[in-house]
Amino acid sequence: MSTAPAGSAAPAAASRSALVDPVVDTQFTDHRVPVMACRVRSASSSTSMTPPWAQGYRCHRGAQAGADTASRRKHRAVLTKVLIANRGEIAVRVIRACAELGIPSVAVYSDLDRDALHVRLADEAYALGGTTAAESYLNTERILEIIEQSGADAVHPGYGFFSENTDFARAIAQRGVAFIGPPPEAIEVMGDKVSSRIAAQAAGVQGVPGTTEFLNNGDEVVAFGEANGWPVAIKAAYGGGGRGMRVVHSADEAHEALASAQSEALKGFGRDECYVERYLTWPRHIEMQIIADTHGNCVWVGERDCSAQRRHQKLVEESPAANFPDEVRQAMGAAAVKVAKACGYVNAGTVEFLYQDGEFYFLEMNTRLQVEHPVTEMATGIDLVAEQLRVAAGEPLTITQDGIERRGHAVEIRINAEDPAGGAFLPAPGTITTLVPPQGFGTRWDGGYESGDEVSQYYDNLVGKLICWGIDRPTAIARTLRALREFRIEGIATTIPADIAILEHPDFKAGVHSTKWVEEVLDLTGVSSAPSGAPAGEGDETERGSATPTLKLTVVQPPRNCRATCWCIPKRPPRHRDWQGSDLLRLQRPLHRPALGRERVFLL
């Protein structure tokens, strides 16, 4: 690999043994001497790196160098360089906020993500190596190495991965690098859902009845259920997003449910501690966005209703909550601030509550920026990520409690690479052949992918978030429906058909849905999302050329030992390298994800 000393011109071209992928047009040293910024990747290896001559410089996109300089004069850079320890749409969101404040950004990426959107947008990009999350975005030592190599003085964890990991936050702080999130002590208290319940109770905020100690065995679940009534919910103490959660309806299910919850928690969060609590029958999930600084200021920005969920993972969020009395809103906001102050919280966080029959109960606190934060931004006009960056730099909040104005209504739709499949919501990884987000007044798209990008089976399948604002709730819902129908995304199946069904349903429009409504009431029979832009019936072979052989078969449910990326076919096709097996055959790499029970034409 060719190198060049700092301040000298970059090599005109890479050697034959290297592939050079530009990250930004131009980098500048402090003396404004331009050098090319590239990722140099060995042709014989998937490892990518920033070459020595491109390391340690303050980076600005060449085409925008003048604009960036002017921006820095107008907006004082609160930090000198921010590393985003994440991927996908949240990494893109933070990178854009950094650019608007004139702060250089550093991306990290796995082998699968080396050409991802967040890598293309960042000012610098460093390879983590590996494919799975454990090999890449959860590789603490490699991320710490990149912090040193890049000279970043702050780390934004996004959500998921290390965002609520106390050890990671401490490791960052020990290196004199700002962690753009709460202090480790607050994560320790609130990241553990058992200790967070104790802290909330100490602050005078009551939670759903539950245990304040970790479960040791299924007998403890049985004892709690017999004393408090069935059903009960087993939850991962260090998790979130519905992972590591199991609803137990009887004593017979307790032992197996606990083992399953612990296994999922260990895989998803690296810890398997669980607790149990009463399971409310028809609650709404309402959460409060708070943000606090190091000067003693803490405000609640507004609530979000996240009740439209499947498998305890959110599909639709809105702000403000419908049919939510203002006196309850004020009380819940005050309770959220009490919880935050009780644990010495700093930066953005979310205090979650369950609301039923006019009463609310503390559920947990997410010590990070939430996926659904844009819906609050749209309803208040407050840039929460920019506030995070300022707080991490030691600046006071730019907002006060009395100065927060909530106007209109906002709805957020999570667009996931999943086929609704009549309510089954089956993962649908693959390549996005076309992605054209909707436009129009009050319409925002926060995405992590563009046309040609691949949604991998190894990471969360969130493609992006569609957020629409209206002067009132009916207007916001109508605008969101228009935007969903306008959305063009081809090559993969998505949750858009289910999202439309939710927004069109009378229960949702009336605001009487709950966290169980999608799974227990909403009828998604026949609602599916066959990927467009891929062969889906007879005539495809003509469009693609008559020389391409095809095979028409009916897709069935794969057996348990079949990988998630395989779909089984009931008859043996002609011999071909893409097919294996005898009685049930597996399609290893289909052009698109076929819907169960549907006839599809596959290219051979």
Catalytic residues, by residue number, are: 368
Give me the torsion for CA of 129, 134, 137, 142, rounded to 10°: -60
Q: CA 535, CA 591: separation in Å to the nearest integer? A: 8
Q: CA 453, CA 338: separation in Å to the nearest integer? A: 43
DSSP conformation letters of 285-314: EEEEEEEE-TTS-EEEEEEEEEEEEETTEE
8 A C-beta contact, residue 469 and residue 409: yes
Q: Provide the pairing of β-strand 462-470 with 178-179.
A: unpaired
| Element (DSSP H or E) covering residue 110 | none
8 A C-beta contact, residue 443 and residue 426: no
Which residues does residue 444 pair with via DSSP β-bridges, in sequence order? Answer: 467
DSSP state of 6: T
Q: CA 264, CA 242: separation in Å to the nearest integer? A: 10
Chain centre to alpha carbon of residue 372: 9
Q: Provide the pairing of β-strand 18-28 with 34-42.
A: antiparallel
8 A C-beta contact, residue 484 and residue 521: no
Helix (H, G, I), strand (E, B) or coil at 131: coil
CA 351 vs CA 238, 354, 362: distances in Å: 15, 10, 8
DSSP state of 575: -
Q: CA 318, CA 332: separation in Å to the nearest integer? A: 16
- Of 174, 214, 209, 173, nearest to 195 by C-alpha is 214
| Sequence-ordered list of residues with C-beta below 8 angstroms from that of 9, at least 6 positions apart, any chain | 35
Residue whose structure tokens are 């436009």: 439
DSSP state of 465: E
Q: CA 132, CA 412: separation in Å to the nearest integer? A: 29
Which residues does residue 440 pair with via DSSP β-bridges, in sequence order? Answer: none
8 A C-beta contact, residue 37 and residue 23: yes
Q: CA 361, CA 332: separation in Å to the nearest integer? A: 9
Q: Other CB atoms closer than 10 Å to residue 252's CB: what's the count?
A: 10
8 A C-beta contact, residue 311 and residue 241: no
- Helical segments of 229-284, H only: 254-269
Q: Other CB atoms closer than 10 Å to residue 569's CB: what's the count?
A: 22
**E strands along 437-478, which residues?**
443-447, 454-455, 462-470
DSSP state of 154: E
Phi, psi of 216 (to 5 degrees): -105, -30
Residue whose structure tokens are 């599809």: 600
